[in-house]
Amino acid sequence: MIDARQRRDLFWFFAIALLVLGAGIGLRDPWPADEPRFVLVAKQMWESGDWLFPHRGHELYADKPPLYFWLLGLAYAVVRDWTWAFLLPSLFAALGTLWLAYDLARRLWSHREGLWAATCVLACVAFVYQAKRAQIDPTVVFFITLGVYGIARHVLLGPAWRWFWVGCFAAGLGVISKGVGFLALLALIPYALMRWRGWNGLAELGRGNAMRWSLGALAFFTAMAVWFVPMIVTASTSGDPEHQAYVRELLFKQTATRYTSAWHHTQPAWYFLEVIAGYWLPFSLALPWLFPRWRDAFRAREARVWLPLGWALLVLVFFSASPGKRDMYILPMLPMMAVAAAPYMDRVASSRWFRRLLLALFVVLGLVFLVAGAAALQGDPRFELKIEAERGLAPASDALWWLLAATGAGMLAACAWWRRDAMKAAGVAFALLVVVLFSGTAVLLDAENSARAVMERGRAMAGDDATLGLVGWKEQNLLQAVGPVEEFGFRKPVEQQLQAGIAWMLEAPDARRLFVLDAALDACVIREHGRAVGTANRRTWWLLDASAIAPACRPSPGDASGD
């Protein structure tokens, strides 16, 4: 049971977590690379009522299963505003992950160790960054963590068959969110090895439980069947070749082929070690102090430490074996590594060298932000000109550089004020960095990063009644489009999009305009007759009417007759 003091501790921890993770919500629209795509897919699901087959524009979108898009739609159903809704699934998934890490460590050891486990998760740049983005990864991390949590409740603290079944069901939900939810079930491998070798700390589950174990598999497949069965039935009976192509793309190219023969994001086998060292700061600073203690726990056959840690190592091996790697892939490891670290963090935090290293990290970060902001305010360094050009910032505006300087100054002030308490200094500096920087940039950069400004300018130039045809478009362009629009495929080569767009515009030249990516303009376009709309996300856009189409590219009167 949790007493009054512990409830107070939890209240303040989660209040701080909510402030850090929730800062900036409602201040910006979706930003590339993935946010506009996912929100667009969810928005089209909501508007069409087709919750089985995700679409991106006119085309089916087979890169990801739909559960995360359903959650986006659920968030919108509650708040009825995409600007507020699109970050809520990540926020609640992150808070849920923190609770699971706390509760598992609390049950394994104590309330204090539970707080350490949750703090270690929150004290990770990669976790905070992903939690503040509309990515699928925070949701997948939650479902995988819930899966391992349920299994651990059973095999370490049980018997708790219901929790085991909940864990298996959560793993199935993870599969229909990003495919890798099954990784939670790998926790049964270290459990089986530890049971065989007689490790300490395992629950006595008794014999004759084959049926109960098999119900875990049933729970796993039942969760997957929530979407998979109606999708397969519809694809098989609709007679629509696009539905059948969707199934092939999702089940083969986006799963097996993506893992075994990745066509992008290829990295060496040791890539994730670099990720842990850099992207998991400041938590990763504790690892040199944790390794000897984990070694001793292994020698003592301590299952409470090594079941979550052994599972995390299996996840690391799984993703390292694939040629395609991205930093967020191994994020599901973090909560269980934090649980394994929890019983030792008091001793780690008491180390003088650890405290010095932690304080030095935030002093250096504060200096970097302060110096960068001050340099930009005092002159025009190369990085300032580059960022202003890429992000559509007016050269006369110094708001971003004041923001950087203020962030750095605040971090240094926190480190100076609490210099005798490195943990508190680091916590305040980290919170300042996240809250101030994410909220400030959300306000300053949103018009450019979301493409909202360029789409509004395009609409104003075209007129309220014209239909805009998008050529070479990205998801943010369609998501932020104002008024009636048309598009000519997303995956189709831009030269084919342009030809289709020209033919479409010339059918009703008075009522249609083309909104075209600069790189898509070819010899069919008379640039002098086009109008530059502006830039967004380092791309330049043009507005074309019929006068901007070269005579050689116009259909002859006979072609238009349809004979």
Render pLDDT for 325-346 as a digit per residue (tens, 0 to 9). Answer: 889 999 999 999 999 999 999 9
Residue with tokens 């109008």: 531
Per-residue pLDDT tens over the stretch 443-481 = 999 999 999 999 999 999 999 999 999 999 999 999 999
Q: Containing domain of residue 187, as a range?
A: 93-349
Within 13 Å of residue 546, how many CA atoms lie on the same side as its CB? Answer: 13
Per-residue pLDDT tens over the stretch 393-422 = 666 678 899 999 999 999 999 999 999 999
Higher pLDDT, 33 or 493: 493
Given a cut of 50, is residue 561 above it in pLDDT?
no
In this predicted structure, what is the pLDDT of residue 560?
A: 44
| Gap between the Cα atoms of 184 and 172, Å rounded | 9
In this predicted structure, what is the pLDDT of residue 253?
A: 66
In this predicted structure, what is the pLDDT of residue 537?
A: 86
Judgement on whether residues 457 and 535 belong to the same structural domain of the protein: yes
Mean pLDDT of 150-171: 97
Q: How many CB atoms lie within 10 A of CB 252?
A: 11
287 to each of 292, 338, 349, how far by Cα in Å?
Answer: 9, 11, 12
Q: Is residue 51, in this structure, part of any structural domain at all?
A: no
Q: Are strands 485-487 and 467-471 parallel, antiparallel or unpaired?
A: parallel
Question: Which residues on neighbouring strands pair with residue 282, listed in sequence order?
Answer: 124
Given a cut of 60, is residue 559 above it in pLDDT?
no
Judgement on whether residues 188 and 269 belong to the same structural domain of the protein: yes
Query: Using CA atoms in the order 320, 323, 324, 325, what is the torsion angle rounded to 10 degrees?
Result: 30
Mean pLDDT of 216-237: 94
Q: Mean pLDDT of all residues in the chain?
A: 92
Judgement on whether residues 238 and 110 belong to the same structural domain of the protein: yes
Reduce the DSSP state of residue 194 to 3 states and report it. Answer: helix
Q: Is residue 333, in this structure, part of any structural domain at all?
A: yes
178 to each of 54, 65, 236, 246, how far by Cα in Å?
Answer: 14, 6, 23, 16
Q: Is residue 17, in this structure, part of any structural domain at all?
A: no
367 to each of 406, 411, 412, how far by Cα in Å?
Answer: 11, 9, 7
Question: How many domains are there within the chain?
Answer: 3
Amino acid at position 475, single letter: E
In this predicted structure, what is the pLDDT of residue 256?
A: 61
Judgement on whether residues 231 and 151 belong to the same structural domain of the protein: yes
Where are any strands of DSSP class E within 27-136? 55-56, 59-60
In this predicted structure, what is the pLDDT of residue 391?
A: 66
Give the residue from 413, 447, 481 where a domain finishes: 447
Q: Is residue 520, in this structure, part of any structural domain at all?
A: yes
Q: 95, 18 in Cβ contact below 8 A?
A: yes
Judgement on whether residues 283 and 204 belong to the same structural domain of the protein: yes
Given a cut of 80, is residue 4 above it in pLDDT?
yes
Judgement on whether residues 266 and 207 belong to the same structural domain of the protein: yes
Number of H helices, E strands in the chain: 26, 7
Judgement on whether residues 443 and 456 belong to the same structural domain of the protein: no
Q: Is residue 80, in this structure, part of any structural domain at all?
A: no
DSSP assignment letter at 266 = B
Judgement on whether residues 269 and 328 belong to the same structural domain of the protein: yes
Encoded tokens for 488: 């000519």
Q: Is residue 83, in this structure, part of any structural domain at all?
A: no
Q: How many CB atoms lie within 10 A of CB 298?
A: 14
Give the residue from 326, 349, 372 where a domain finishes: 349
Per-residue pLDDT tens over the stretch 5-21 = 999 999 999 999 999 99
Encoded tokens for 50: 């087709």
Judgement on whether residues 365 and 282 belong to the same structural domain of the protein: no
| Gap between the Cα atoms of 157 and 205, Å rounded | 10
Indicate the length of the chain as a whole number: 563
Given a cut of 70, is residue 521 above it in pLDDT?
yes
Higher pLDDT, 497 or 247: 497
Judgement on whether residues 465 and 435 belong to the same structural domain of the protein: no
> What is the largest distance, in Å, between two alpha-carbon atoms of the chain?
87
Chain mean position to CA 148? 21
Residue with tokens 């159903």: 77
Within 13 Å of residue 156, how many CA atoms lie on the same side as its CB? Answer: 23
Per-residue pLDDT tens over the stretch 422-451 = 999 999 999 999 999 999 999 999 999 999
Listed ranges 3-12, 112-121, 530-539; the one with the highest mean pLDDT: 112-121
Q: 348, 120 in Cβ contact below 8 A?
A: no
Helix extents (H) in 179-321: 188-197, 210-238, 241-248, 258-260, 271-279, 287-299, 303-320
Q: Is residue 86, in this structure, part of any structural domain at all?
A: no
Q: Is residue 87, in this structure, part of any structural domain at all?
A: no
Judgement on whether residues 177 and 243 belong to the same structural domain of the protein: yes
Give the residue from 425, 447, 469 where a domain finishes: 447
Residue with tokens 């008091």: 346
Given a cut of 60, is residue 134 above it in pLDDT?
yes
pLDDT band at 272 (very low <50, low <70, confident <90, very high): very high
Mean pLDDT of 144-152: 98
| Gap between the Cα atoms of 447 and 316, Å rounded | 38
pLDDT more than 90, % of the chain: 83
b/e map 153-170, b = 16+ CB within 10 Å: bbbbbbbbbebbbbbbbb
Per-residue pLDDT tens over the stretch 46-79 = 999 999 999 999 999 988 899 999 999 999 999 9
| Gap between the Cα atoms of 123 and 109, Å rounded | 20
| Gap between the Cα atoms of 291 and 354, Å rounded | 14
Judgement on whether residues 138 and 281 belong to the same structural domain of the protein: yes
